[in-house]
Amino acid sequence: MTVQKKRKPKVWFITGTSRGFGRVWTEAALKRGDQVAATARNLESISDFRENYGDKALLLELDVTNPDQVRSALDHAVDYFGRLDIVFNNAGYSLVGTIEESDPEEVRELYETNIFGPLAVIKAALPILRKQGYGHILGTSSNLGHITLPVIGYYCSSKWAFESLHESLATEIAQFNIQVTIVEPGAYATEFGSKQSLKFAEGMDIYDGFKEKFFGNLNSMERGNPEATAQALFTMVDSENPPLRFNLGSHNLVGIKAAYNERLKTWEEWDEVSQSAQG
């Protein structure tokens, strides 16, 4: 008779837990008996975690663009729980506007949250994870880390940067027994499209028709149920060899394959000219 080994509860540190995937995954982790340091800019928005799950939930005020606050939050979490199994960079938002419309300062602010914020978390977490001899860093990217859409091109660019940073990181820190997984959701019916998760660039009349058509297509897109992602996420983090990249949803792979096939086709068509540049 085979006796199934009892699962040891994990300790999570998750950013951006007030809405969207962050809220779904935090609640699901707590429900399955894990412990979570849940962070948000406004603690009132996540107060129910403490009310419903008691001391399994540690609520921390955190703006990921503030490196000092990031370090303090991580130190508090490890002091409270004694360890961190998973550090999950989930906070982020999208800037809506064409490449021409968006102001450079708006783009910098986007990158402060979507890139420099996660980097601050990683840099603060690595000494903790190295000291304990293990850990798993997760980051919420998107299928738009491989393909692009118009009108949210700067958001896409932040996810392309996010992907490459985590791929390099994974190679650098494997020697410390620290794993890295980039979580890539497709289209889901979350609050990501809410005013709290979007910022809008000042529009230009010449793009009105284009954007109207774009949003019409976007609104007709089939969206997955975010609640269905939790078990898939747990299967991944509980595995002995989690992947570097992890799709969520049934449509991602089709689109990604098409995009890469098109790139390969173009490179191959121009390969003779490309090779002539070798010298």
Q: What is the pLDDT of residues 3-33, one digit of tens each?
A: 345 778 999 999 999 999 999 999 999 999 9
Residue 1 is assigned to a structural domain of this protein: no
Point out the catalytic residue in the list 155, 158, 188, 211: 155
pLDDT, position 1: 40
pLDDT category of residue 126 using cuts at 50, 70 and 90: very high
Point out the catalytic residue in the list 10, 56, 159, 211: 159
Residues above pLDDT 90, as percent of the chain: 81
Residue 243 is assigned to a structural domain of this protein: yes
Mean pLDDT of 126-133: 98
The C-alpha atoms of residue 57 and residue 48 are separated, in whole angstroms, by 10
Residues above pLDDT 70, as percent of the chain: 95
Instruction: Give the start-end residues of each E strand in 105-148.
Output: 135-140
Using alpha carbons, list the distances in angstroms from residue 134 to 131, 180, 203, 237. 8, 11, 47, 13
Q: In the chain, how many domains are there?
A: 1
**Is 93 one of the catalytic residues?**
no
- Strand partners for 94: 198
Residue 125 is assigned to a structural domain of this protein: yes
For residue 180, give the H/E element and its range.
Answer: strand 178-185
**Is 141 one of the catalytic residues?**
yes
Residue 72 is assigned to a structural domain of this protein: yes
CB 146 within 8 A of CB 92: no
Q: Is the pLDDT of residue 79 over 60?
A: yes
The better pLDDT of the pair 119, 224 is held by 119
Point out the catalytic residue in the list 18, 141, 142, 158: 141
b/e 145-175 (16+ beta carbons within 10 angstroms → b): bbbeeebbbbbbbbbbebbebbeebbeebee
pLDDT, position 5: 59
The C-alpha atoms of residue 119 and residue 18 are separated, in whole angstroms, by 20
Residue 62 is assigned to a structural domain of this protein: yes
Query: What is the rounded (10 degree) CA torsion for 196, 70, 86, 227?
Result: -10
* Residue 141 per-residue DSSP state: -
Q: Which domain holds residue 85?
A: 11-248
Mean pLDDT of 92-103: 94
Mean pLDDT of 260-275: 97
CATH of residue 45's domain is: 3.40.50.720
Window from 83-92, 100-109, 115-124, 220-229 with minimum mean pLDDT? 220-229
Residue 110 is assigned to a structural domain of this protein: yes
Window from 48-52, 78-82, 208-212, 243-247 with minimum mean pLDDT? 208-212
pLDDT, position 224: 78
**Is 111 one of the catalytic residues?**
no
pLDDT category of residue 167 using cuts at 50, 70 and 90: very high
Strands 135-140 and 198-200 come out as unpaired
* pLDDT one-digit tens code per residue, 184-232: 998 877 665 545 557 889 889 999 999 999 888 877 777 778 899 999 9
* pLDDT one-digit tens code per residue, 27-52: 999 999 999 999 999 999 999 999 99
Residue 185 is assigned to a structural domain of this protein: yes
Residue 189 is assigned to a structural domain of this protein: yes
pLDDT, position 2: 42
